[in-house]
């Protein structure tokens, strides 16, 4: 959890109302997310890898693998989907905030990187090979 639960006396349900507690928890999580040097989004592996490499001045030997995701909600009724959204409203709001923050950070990094195309494409051109790992020597 990203929120500081001490701020809202999370385990004392009578201290503040649920709405106030939820609002405080969400704001705390957003503030903590703002303070993180790096976070990524699983649905944007290539951008996440670029951002990690640029943030920490490191280069991965292989590109992150992007798995396709499906949001086929046709198996669930509207009522069930609405209930799921209701029960997860704080998580959904935090995710939307994180996605916007991630996008802003990416756009800022992209604008500041005079060699963006080269760096971003470098991430995409790496190919994973198990033999590379097997032949390496590691110090323990």
Predicted confidence (pLDDT) at residue 140 exceeds the cutoff of 70: no
The domain spans of the chain are: 1-35, 40-134
- In the DSSP assignment, the letter for residue 62 is S
State how far Cα 102 lies from the chain centre: 7
Report the alpha-carbon distance of residue 11 to residue 63 in Å, rounded.
Answer: 43
Q: How many residues does the chain have?
A: 140
- How many CB atoms sit inside 10 A of residue 29's CB? 20
What average pLDDT does the segment 50-68 reach? 86
Q: What is the pTM of this model?
A: 0.77
The structure tokens 């989004």 sit at: 41
- Over residues 97-116, the pLDDT tens digits come to 999 999 999 999 999 999 99
Report the alpha-carbon distance of residue 110 to residue 126 in Å, rounded.
Answer: 20
């Amino acid at each position: 959890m990203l929120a500081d639960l001490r701020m809202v006396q999370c385990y004392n349900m009578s201290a503040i109302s649920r709405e106030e507690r939820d609002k405080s928890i969400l704001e705390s999580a957003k503030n903590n997310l703002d303070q993180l040097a790096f976070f990524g989004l699983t649905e944007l592996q290539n951008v996440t890898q670029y951002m990690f490499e640029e943030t920490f001045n490191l280069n991965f030997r292989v590109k992150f693998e992007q798995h396709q995701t499906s949001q086929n909600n046709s198996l669930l009724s509207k009522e069930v989907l609405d209930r799921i959204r209701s029960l997860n409203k704080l998580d959904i709001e935090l995710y939307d905030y994180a996605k916007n923050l991630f996008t802003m950070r990416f756009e800022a990094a992209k604008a500041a990187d005079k060699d963006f195309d080269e760096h971003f494409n470098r991430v995409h051109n790496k190919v994973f090979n198990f033999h590379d790992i097997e032949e390496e020597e590691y110090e323990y």
